[in-house]
A and B are shown apart, each in its own frame.
Chain A
């Protein structure tokens, strides 16, 4: 009996492995997981936002040469960037249908404004430790679950949205504001409630391309940067 039970376990394991590796094919016949229409979703995630340049600038003096506009004299050059940051994000969503949801989110981070100095005839090239910003972002997004049945617990989605960016310089004496627009894709993995008929709980991750307008930028240019998010959701 003992041998048979062990053999039975082995067969189950083999079967499970085969099913796992073969799940894309079998899943076609399964019900795709869904949101719960008319209900709210809470989410919490950790976001890793990438670094991006915020402008090059040259400190110039009036050069000593004849004419109205003599060639300038370069005192030094400064290349600035916003460093990568890891930040918590909290979201509240509302599912209009089994696929479409509106989400509102807020996040807080502390990236640094790092400045690389070069071209100074009296000082070596160097990167300054930088200024620590307080950065808040409030955003709204639409998520649309792709009608693609790949697993009874997993559903990919596309996300698009935008938000308000608020950046406080160190000392919190100067505030700069801007907007962030983003688009990306991700997936939800339901640990329970994948049918869309009951309380749900799961893991969610996405990757986005963000486009930032205004905010701290010394050239007043539109900048883009990637971000990755991983967190949990609770479908009420």
Chain B
């Protein structure tokens, strides 16, 4: 191809040749992500939910004021073997471990015990999990004057590393 001056015009790279390296990079990254197994196979531990994870105290009957307990169970692991796993439980949606319900803004306080990992806190390795449990407690005095209705809260669990 000649320019107006008669000199050969340098060949312009096509759009495909300009973008190809970018495409190749992104597509390669996507394929790499897709090739990752379901578990992390990394140093960070994760939770594996098996069924509904809940801490259900059931019926708190004011006629029979007793200390009610409930236990939550979750699997944790899938990280580099022998790392010490640690699970933190936050204070819930209101920051004070209370279930809200009744007429809408009524509260029932509860407490959470320490998290126990069956088999010990040492991580069992990639794609392997251990069972973590913790217990919640509602004192009878916490619902002695409670309003009728359903109550709930949501705790956030964080595992480290």
**Do A and B actually bind?**
no
